[in-house]
Structure 1
């Protein structure tokens, strides 16, 4: 369950009659406990309570009590020996009137009326495995509002099925946007009298809800009619007190869907919330899921935390503004110039969704401006920062309008905060008619027309709430000479997951530049267009992206093109988790990359502080950040056909091309009915990635040419050889057709005469080391693994090192969350210093120690041994020793962290390729016109 679903479940629970015997189990069920778990607690199998309550191990101890005994009961729960033994994180006591609970880890408490305990649902979210509790607790209102709006939205579509069609969904979105504004306006005195909108609907609509739609339509029509025109427009007296809003919000059609009694009830419940607590910076990003059928199942998971957004905005431009403010002190002229500069800054999000990046940027800039006004003695001064300087592009109409609405709300809240409610109200209505959030395809629009840095004037005023100009030059509001900062979190979508329309989007951006664009992630289009924009304007950009664009084979395709525009990486956050509100959600691994055509002398590189429990970052200022987000020159790692250093050659394993006839399970091998001598001659153990890592048994037919006649004489083998022949002859691949002449063999027939060092092609990123190892001369490998035949054992020590893992993770990239090993890109390019014979002997001993430690835990598999939570101490120690020996060869000591490892490896790679001439670093100073 996600946070929104949990909030709804406990709200339903609080509204039901209190049953002391049922409540503890219903409470646990509301937080996602399965029916089988609840059943075991009910029958006492897992209930550890010593007080007659319900105690779930490692979770919570709940006890209902007699009236007036809640505080005493909570004390008893805390003192209970069972609470301690079961390591309960929470205790909870209630009598159905009062409600008290305590987090035994932090000491935080909740004490409220029973009916109000859903207001504190965020307090208990660790029970559901949700760790982003602080952010949820701070924004509990937004989650509750989203939940209730969703129930209303779904019910209205049920009551009005024609409104759920593609033709009418647009009208439904308009209606929801209007409702949200009214709920906010009635609780913030924009409408005179708190709750006036909801109260009017309650009073003027009948209980059977038959005229609810007419009442709401009348209110909307009133808000779209100037006061002096209301008599002629036949606005009834009960609706005349509502102000004229316009700003396109209530213009156009005023049709409202019909309400059932249930929908009317939901509407009044939504209106009963305290909308002064809305956070426009995150509310919109959650509510947009309401209007998207394919996203409603993920409701509540669209939350992006403010700290994460600030990881983009702070180094992009906000840190600079704050430092200029600090430098200004109380110098009036300097403060005035800074205020003028801020007023001309444009923030542009070309994948804005519901506008959370834009809203955060606006609120942070208003805070800086307010401090300037305070120092200048102009506290009540109207803001010089126009909302029209916060531009966005969004593909879908509902989020694009929510973005504009969120900015309007943010402006009002900022005015109340910095100027007082009286001045804020005086200037808020009527809303302006300009539209500065464009609904369209960002990869097909001209960004310089959507967000120009030159002076133009607005020409478009539309009556349609969602209409955006087809000629984008029509939204160019005056803003002469300002800076532009491009930011956001564009859609990622790897090449495999892109549809034909998205492929066409990328083709339009890249096809005239290079031939390899089809391998790029969808987000690469935003980076390329941002680089082009920055090359022609006073602008910088920063996007959140999956780390795949800074790894592996995408780097040689994308980054030379970006660097050719003159843009450089002026700050970056290396890989970290960008989590949302889903329970048990690890979040997607992302990077943040900032681009600028005029970067500062020192670039800011942020890396996660692994010792910080609160996702802290370590800042390092460096001369340059390369495409792999490593301090160093802009060298691009290219595939190499042979190792650049002295390590042994690594090749693919054997590709069967057999239709499944040469590869055998253990039972299939037995079914061949071979003698022991025939088994030794014709059967080999074979390993791919899965077989090597998980210890799976797999075999293959291995028939040397001199033994073919004997093999053909064995009926079970002959049948399989003929199966291979038929498969290859029927293939459309000419190479496979030619291989039919030797149907008794795989395409390659490589096997070590002494041993083979094996490295799987695919392995989990969760392991502390890359899996590798040794197989004997009676075993071979498939093309799902790489082999070094007869290679000296010190090569295995290199593969098994932390140094090699971080290199492969950076230059080879991943398939989903798995490492995708490459011999040409990961092994052949791996820079190794010249090794002495002693170095090789020491590394050989390290590899032997690793193998002996594994053998000590036989029959444990690689998967068992390298589980990060269960790795045996002796095996871990042998790897630590291997790392120490190898790293001392590189720098005479252990590296401090992976960042330092990568910096050294890239430095050595650059020097090695410059010396050998095998790979020439990309030149990035000149423009490419491919």
Structure 2
């Protein structure tokens, strides 16, 4: 469950008649406990309460008590030995009138009327495994409002299905934006009169809701009519109390969907919330899901925390503004210069969604400006920061509308905070009709026209803020010489998950610049276009991105194009979790990359090991792999340049399955035809390597063919191979039907032994799962192999150093690591090894193999599960890592960052010494 679902369930429970016997179970069910868990608690099988209540181990001790005894009951729960023994996190007591609870770990308490306990739902969210509790408590209103609006939206579509069609979806979304504004306006005195909007609808609507849509339509019409024109427009007296809003929010059609009795009740419930508490920096990202069929199923998971967004905005430009404020002190002239500079700054999010980044940037800049005004003795001064300097592009029209609305609300709230309620109200209405959020495809539009580097005239004029042309562009504003900071969290979409339209967009951006664009994630387009943009203006950009654009095959495709524009990485956050409101804080692993044409002496590298600790390092350069080091891009090398073994891809059968044998097929063949054993070898594919499966293959040399086909089953299998190849659409495979007794591609045969490693491996393991086999083994093409290599090569392949290198420079299949011999093995920097080094590493490799053997028949998958790895095997790997790392720097590396930095340093020296390496496409054989 996510936070919105939990809040709705808790609110529903509070609205029902209090049932003393049922309450504990209903409460736990509201936080996502399964029916089987509740059943065990009901039966007493898992209920360990000694207070006549319900005690869930490791979670909560609940008691429903006699009226007037809530405080005493809570004390008894807290002092209960059973509470201590069960390691309960919370105690809760209620009598149906009063409600009290305590967090036994943090010491916080809740005491309220029973009907109000849903207001504190965030207090208990760790019961549901949600760890973003602090942020949720701060934004509890937004979560509650989102859930209520969603219920209203769904209910309206039930009775007005045509409003959910593609033709009317925009009308429905526009209606929801109008409602949100009205709810906010009536609680913040923008509407003059307490509960004016909701109260008027309640007063003028029939009890059966038959005319509710007409009442709302008249209110919208009133807010779109100037006072001097209302008599001619025949605005009803009861609607004439509403102000003229304009700004396009209420222009156009005043058509409203019809309301059922249920929808009408939802409307009143929403209106009775305290909309002064809205946070436009989070609310927009949640409400956009209400209007999206695909996203509504994940409602409540569209949370983007302010701290995460500030990880982008602070180092991008806000830190610099604050530093300049600190330097200015009370110097009036310096403060004025800073304020003038801020008035010209444009913040541009070309994938703005509902405007989170823009809203937070605006609020932070207003806070800095307020401090400037305070120091200059101009506390009540009107802002110099125009809302129209906060530009965005958004593909979905409702999200674009919500972004504009969120910025309007943010402006009003900032005016109230920094200038006072009266000043804010005096200048808020009517709304300005200028447009600064463009609805369209950012990968097809001209960014320079949407956010021009200097003040220019409007290319396409519009009087309607909320009904703009697709390519609405410039606003006439004066900011000659101002900076532009581009930011945001664009869509990621890896190459295998892109829609046909997205593929065409990637081609549009990259096709003229690189032939290998098909491997790029969708987010790479924003990096390219932002670099192009900054060739023409002053500024920098920073995007949240999947870490894949800074790893593997995407680096040599994307980053040379960015460097060619004269850009460099000014700051970066290495991988961390971009969280949402779901249970277990589910989220995607991302990086943040800040790019600028300015060459600064120091760059900042942010590395987050835990949720609370972020290390900030000042470094001279950050490369495309987000490593402190030279701007080197690792290119594939066709052959090793030292005495390490030559790694090749395994052999491809392309046989229709006829040359491969299961354990039982092999046994039956050898039982029937004992002489067939000389043509059978062990076969190692990916599943055989990792999961210990047994498979074999028929392997016939040219001079054995005549005798082999004397065995009927082998002859039959060979004929089936021939037919399968002849049916292939590939001409090269059809040609190879002439040799049906052979594998289609034979890369190499090992004479003595082979080291085998998978082409694709799980990112969750701590080491690459290579193994060692004798020469009577045929390696399949899902693996790589080093034939007849000395055993010290296995120690290298199985080291933490090599795993970290591979993770940085190899390609990805989803999140799994895709190994490449020419990119992963041949490029791996190995210092010149002495014979003693090789001997020590050989011993380490043997120890690893012996430790595995001690746990037979456990498979590689079993042994290398990070949670279950045997202690002796882990110790063998630790010894191997220590021996190898001492060869590199004389001691163990402190962390993976230090490992990578050393490897990139050695790679730079290696390739500089050799000159430009012979390269081919990343991942080539």
Shifted more, 295-304 versus 99-108: the winner is 99-108
CA distance in 2, matches of 1:90, 1:814: 43
CA distance in 1, matches of 2:791, 2:830: 15
State the Cα distance separating 1:355 from its structure 2 match: 0.2
Q: Deviations over 1:247-280 (max 9, x none)?
A: 1111111111110000000000111111111000
State the Cα distance separating 1:893 from its structure 2 match: 1.6
State the Cα distance separating 1:674 from its structure 2 match: 3.0
Q: Does the C-alpha gap of structure 1 residues 708 and 105 become closer, same or farther in structure 2, counting only changes over 3 Å?
A: farther
Does residue 804 of the first structure (1) align with residue 802 of the second (2)? yes
Q: TM-score, normalised by structure 2?
A: 0.97
Q: Deviations over 1:726-752 (max 9, x none)?
A: 111111112212222222232345443
Q: Does the C-alpha gap of structure 1 residues 156 and 849 become closer, same or farther in structure 2, counting only changes over 3 Å?
A: same
CA distance in 2, matches of 1:718, 1:733: 24
Does residue 331 of the first structure (1) align with residue 331 of the second (2)? yes
CA distance in 1, matches of 2:477, 2:333: 27
State the Cα distance separating 1:807 from its structure 2 match: 0.7
Equivalent pair of 1:458/1:478 in contact (CA under 8 Å): no
State the Cα distance separating 1:649 from its structure 2 match: 1.0
Q: Does the C-alpha gap of structure 1 residues 22 and 684 become closer, same or farther in structure 2, counting only changes over 3 Å?
A: farther
Equivalent pair of 2:495/2:521 in contact (CA under 8 Å): yes
State the Cα distance separating 1:564 from its structure 2 match: 0.5
Equivalence for 2:453: 453
SS of the residue corresponding to residue 643 of structure 1 reads coil
Q: Deviations over 1:688-741 (max 9, x none)?
A: 233222223333233334443444333333332222111111111122122222
Q: Does the C-alpha gap of structure 1 residues 38 and 783 become closer, same or farther in structure 2, counting only changes over 3 Å?
A: same
Equivalence for 1:265: 265
Q: How does 1:404-483 map to 2 (within 5 A)?
A: 404-458=404-458, 462-464=462-464, 466-469=466-469, 472-483=472-483
Q: Does the C-alpha gap of structure 1 residues 672 and 33 become closer, same or farther in structure 2, counting only changes over 3 Å?
A: farther
SS of the residue corresponding to residue 120 of structure 2 reads helix
Equivalence for 1:928: none
CA distance in 2, matches of 1:584, 1:724: 50
Q: How does 1:670-685 map to 2 (within 5 A)?
A: 670-672=667-669, 674=671, 677-678=674-675, 680-685=677-682
Equivalence for 1:145: 145
Q: TM-score, normalised by structure 1?
A: 0.96
Equivalent pair of 1:282/1:304 in contact (CA under 8 Å): yes
Equivalence for 1:312: 312
Shifted more, 671-680 versus 315-324: the winner is 671-680
State the Cα distance separating 1:105 from its structure 2 match: 2.2
Equivalent pair of 1:458/1:477 in contact (CA under 8 Å): no
State the Cα distance separating 1:473 from its structure 2 match: 4.6
Equivalence for 2:857: 859
Shifted more, 794-803 versus 107-116: the winner is 107-116
SS of the residue corresponding to residue 434 of structure 1 reads coil
Equivalent pair of 1:397/1:466 in contact (CA under 8 Å): no
CA distance in 2, matches of 1:160, 1:18: 35
CA distance in 2, matches of 1:337, 1:369: 11
Equivalent pair of 1:433/1:461 in contact (CA under 8 Å): no
Equivalent pair of 2:379/2:419 in contact (CA under 8 Å): yes
Equivalence for 1:493: 493
Equivalent pair of 1:739/1:747 in contact (CA under 8 Å): yes
SS of the residue corresponding to residue 475 of structure 1 reads coil
What is the aligned counterpart of 1:626 among 605, 623, 628?
A: 623
Equivalent pair of 1:343/1:386 in contact (CA under 8 Å): yes
Q: Deviations over 1:384-411 (max 9, x none)?
A: 0000000000011000010010001001
Equivalence for 2:736: 739
State the Cα distance separating 1:111 from its structure 2 match: 1.8
Equivalence for 1:658: 655
Q: Does the C-alpha gap of structure 1 residues 752 and 47 become closer, same or farther in structure 2, counting only changes over 3 Å?
A: farther
State the Cα distance separating 1:595 from its structure 2 match: 1.2
Q: How does 1:205-354 map to 2 (within 5 A)?
A: 205-354=205-354
CA distance in 1, matches of 2:678, 2:919: 50
Q: How does 1:851-890 map to 2 (within 5 A)?
A: 851-890=849-888
Q: Does the C-alpha gap of structure 1 residues 777 and 51 become closer, same or farther in structure 2, counting only changes over 3 Å?
A: farther
Shifted more, 276-285 versus 685-694: the winner is 685-694
Equivalent pair of 2:328/2:334 in contact (CA under 8 Å): yes
Q: Deviations over 1:570-598 (max 9, x none)?
A: 11111111121122344211111111111
Shifted more, 552-561 versus 689-698: the winner is 689-698
Q: Does the C-alpha gap of structure 1 residues 870 and 104 become closer, same or farther in structure 2, counting only changes over 3 Å?
A: farther
Q: How does 1:808-847 map to 2 (within 5 A)?
A: 808-847=806-845
The gaps in structure 1 that reach 5 residues or longer are 923-930
Does residue 789 of the first structure (1) align with residue 798 of the second (2)? no
State the Cα distance separating 1:865 from its structure 2 match: 1.9
CA distance in 1, matches of 2:919, 2:599: 21
Equivalent pair of 1:248/1:464 in contact (CA under 8 Å): yes
- RMSD of the alignment, in Å? 1.8
Report the number of matched residues. Answer: 919
Q: Does the C-alpha gap of structure 1 residues 670 and 584 become closer, same or farther in structure 2, counting only changes over 3 Å?
A: farther
Q: Does the C-alpha gap of structure 1 residues 219 and 645 become closer, same or farther in structure 2, counting only changes over 3 Å?
A: farther
Shifted more, 140-149 versus 628-637: the winner is 628-637
Equivalence for 2:605: 605
Equivalence for 2:129: 129
Equivalent pair of 2:653/2:744 in contact (CA under 8 Å): yes
